[in-house]
Structure 1
Amino acid sequence: MAMPTHIVAVGGIVENEQGEVLLVKTFHGGWVFPGGQVEAGENLMDALIREIKEESGIDTEVSHLIGVYSNTGMYKWHDGITDVPTKVMLDYVCKPVGGELAVSEETSESCWVAKELVLDKITSMAIRTRYQAYLDFAGIVSYMAYETKPEFAVSLKRKI
């Protein structure tokens, strides 16, 4: 039996003292909160701090876990060839501690957006759902399993 292959990813909802949330505009996914894949041998906190810095220029500290997600769908990457395996994603609240807004190879814009206006910018249903979990967070972590292709569909949703 083959070993299962998963991508482990982290997402950071970075809120500043003015109540604004950090968003980045990606070339493939539009506006999102920053995050990305955990590299081999890297811990979750270091991966998240690195991804936020790479995508936005902002230095952060990780505060607390708010959501765990599984994208159980298998689909083709943007190249139309590469298979994307199941993803496990962990979302955290983060605080900015320095840096300046910047862009990267993956992002064309980065900005601070009023917390209540973030959903107006995000078009991805998966990212919208995960951001809503942040807005609704009351101390209990959310777990959700979903597929994004061919369309967004939730198969399991609960508090853990």
Structure 2
Amino acid sequence: MSFPTHIVSAGGIVEDSEGNILLVKTRDGGWVYPGGQVEVGENLIDALVREIKEESGITTTVSYLVGVYSNTGSFKWYDGVTDVPTQVIFDFVCKPVGGQLAVSEETTESRWVAKDQALSFITHPAIRTRYQAYLEFDGMVNYMEYVTHPQFTIKHQTSMSK
């Protein structure tokens, strides 16, 4: 028997007490809110806290889930060789509890940006769409299926409640 391969990731929309959002500038993809892949044996929340700290220098707590996303498109990684499998991504709102802005091997800059100005920094269509869903969050968790290659296309979208 063979099991499917998926990438499980988490994104952290970190809100400070002044209404700013934490953004990081990645080496490959421009400005985004921090997050990344869950490692083998790691839980989703620990992975998100680790990724935010690694990419930005900021220590956080995870507050609540705002969206679940599936990138079901097939495409090559930045190296042009590696096939990227389906990605399942969970976006959470987080609160900063310590640390100082920093950069990493993956990021070249990190900064706090006014919540309503963040979209002027974020250029990646999937990240922009997910951030817009956060801005419109009304307590209903957003679910969206999309593909990013050859172009960004939303295939399915719905909101979920109990």
TM over 0.5: yes
Identity of aligned residues (%): 67
Q: Distance in 1 between matches of 2:135 and 2:25?
A: 20
Alignment deviations for residues 18-56 of structure 1 (CA, whole Å, 9 cap, x no partner): 000000000111000000000000001100000000000
RMSD (Å) for aligned C-alpha atoms: 0.6
Corresponding residue of 1:104: 104
How many pairs align? Answer: 160
Q: Distance in 2 between matches of 1:71 and 1:5?
A: 13
Whether 2:71 is the aligned partner of 1:71: answer: yes
Alignment deviations for residues 95-120 of structure 1 (CA, whole Å, 9 cap, x no partner): 00000000000000000000010000
Q: Distance in 2 between matches of 1:3 and 1:53?
A: 31
Whether 2:90 is the aligned partner of 1:118: answer: no
Q: 1:25 is aligned with what amino acid?
A: K
Corresponding residue of 1:28: 28
Whether 2:77 is the aligned partner of 1:43: answer: no
Which contiguous aligned blocks of 4+ residues in structure 1 show a shift greater than 6 angstroms? none
SS of the residue corresponding to residue 132 of structure 2 reads: helix
Gaps spanning 5+ residues in structure 2: where?
none
Per-residue deviation at 1:3?
1.5
TM-score normalised according to structure 1 size: 0.99
Corresponding residue of 2:127: 127
Gaps spanning 5+ residues in structure 1: where?
none
SS of the residue corresponding to residue 3 of structure 1 reads: coil
Whether 2:146 is the aligned partner of 1:149: answer: no
